[in-house]
Amino acid sequence: MAAMTNSAYDASPPSSTELPPPSRLHQVVVLASPGAGHLIPLVELVRRLAVDHGLAVTVVTLTGMSNPATDAAVLASLPASVATAVLPAVSVDDDTHTIELVRRSLPHLRALMEGLRGGGSPAAALVCDFFGTAALPLAAELGVQGFVFLPNSFAMIYIMRYTAELHGGAAAGEYRDLPDQLPLPGAPALRHADLPDGFGDRTDPTYAYHVEEARRYGGANGFLVNSFEELETAMAESFKRDAEDGAFPPVFPVGPIVRSSSSGEEADKSGCLEWLDCQPEGSVVYVSFGSGGALSVEQTAELAAGLEASGQRFLWVVRMPSLDGASNNFAEMDDKDDPLAWLPEGFLERTSGRGLAVAAWAPQVRVLAHPATAAFVTHCGWNSVLESVAAGVPMAAWPLYAEQRVNAVILTEVAGVALRPAARGGGGLVAREEIAAAVRELLNGEKGSAVRCRARELREAAARAWSPEGSSRRALAEVAGKWKAALVDGNRTIA
């Protein structure tokens, strides 16, 4: 949802879009939204489509909003059979939303898909990220199935759908505020404070984008959601009933789709894995707020004091603090930046031996899977949530921005796999005493015991979902079968 960075307009006609070799049979085109948080789970989905179902896939990325080097590193982990294509740049400015970027890129996407058809490799389906539904009408026009991949929870697709239904036929500028309580199946009603960024204020331009996006949902042939039935049981059942009644397109749970420890993570230059090897089993609290999470200077100091006061072992991925109050910062660190310099004086010396602070990054999948890791203090980004669930690690939910507050509600009040430290007053500061108490409770307390037990149960459920007869594996196989059948019905040859 971040604003676009400036980018030069590519004046070349759409037909100049560089296509993969025409000799390949392309059955599925996957359109990725900018940003590693969107691209990583999409790449893992593509890997399964290619390896498990033998589908030929072209991953299409857009120019703008994300770091090309980061995107290239993620895409490099794909199997060699998967083709990639980058659409030419379009005219944008600092205020261009991702959804608008997709809309302006549609002529180039059309040229790519028509080129595939002309080369004898037509697609059976176009799969777009949930910010890319502007491409759904193009899929219908070209006679291919249009699917939407939700890299987050059932709850988010429910909120988007509810928002569109709430406004009905209202024109732009006539939107009403969402009600004070938004009901979720099997969950407590969401308060305004729990809603994703841009949903609580009808004057926010992002609000109109969300409504526009959600209104296109009914035109999809189906949805793939990165969750699994046992994590959000009531919502999964609700969508299943609606699909049977024809009230909404079918929603297929295909999660948890998470990175493996060998798919795209960098080498551990911080030494944290070696440090974990020296710690007792189940003794370390892992603290990380993702690639974009930012704490204020004051909150960074409170977190340090809380970890110190807890008396527990910890591994903390420290990022540069926010100096303007923003809770997210996706800018790349300058070589001169040193996040550790912002920690309280003497903190590193006082916690030496039982704590390790590393700058900016750690190999998270391997950290969560390490026997020494006991708990995870997380910003509740859905990728991090599923990585923790798959590893059986209980969480302390500390949401910062976007849909993370919704995720925190799901984790604490639906799935029961997390505790949530309380923030103080309207400023949202989490005090050191609350942090220390939450960490101790999560590792040793009675409430923590229930959460730890639930984490083990969900780890087993997540593994079952992707077992040979698991619900998520069957759901993705069903979708892949639909796409293959579409090619057969169109008298096309399947490799």
**What is the radius of gyration, based on Cα positions, of the chain?**
23
> For residues 212 and 98, what is the distance between their CA atoms, to the nearest angstrom?
13
DSSP string, 229-267: TTTSHHHHHHHHHHHHHTSS--EEE-------TTSSPPP
Residue among 71, 97, 108, 129 flagged as catalytic = 129
The SS3 assignment for 107 reads helix
C-alpha closest to that of 62 among 41, 38, 85 = 85
Using DSSP bridges, classify how beta strands 373-378 and 284-288 pair: parallel, antiparallel or unpaired. parallel
Residue 280 has what DSSP assignment? Answer: P
C-alpha closest to that of 260 among 47, 452, 24 = 47
CB atoms within 10 A of CB 251: 27
DSSP string, 414-482: IS--EE-PPPBTTTTB--HHHHHHHHHHHHHSHHHHHHHHHHHHHHHHHHHHTSTT-HHHHHHHHHHHH
Q: How many residues does the chain have?
A: 495
Strand partners, 286: 315, 376
60, burial (CB in 10 Å: exposed 0-12, middle 13-18, buried 19+):
buried
Does residue 129 carry a catalytic annotation?
Answer: yes
Using DSSP bridges, classify how beta strands 418-419 and 187-191 pair: parallel, antiparallel or unpaired. unpaired
Does residue 370 carry a catalytic annotation?
Answer: no
Using DSSP bridges, classify how beta strands 187-191 and 181-184 pair: parallel, antiparallel or unpaired. antiparallel
Residue among 26, 38, 108, 370 flagged as catalytic = 38
String of b and e for 67-95 (b: at least 16 CB within 10 Å)? eeebbeebbebbeeebbbbbbbbbebeee
Residues 6+ positions from 428 with CB-CB distance below 8 Å:
none
Q: What does the block give as tokens for 285? A: 């609290």
Say which amino acid occupies 70: T
Give catalytic residue positions. 38, 129
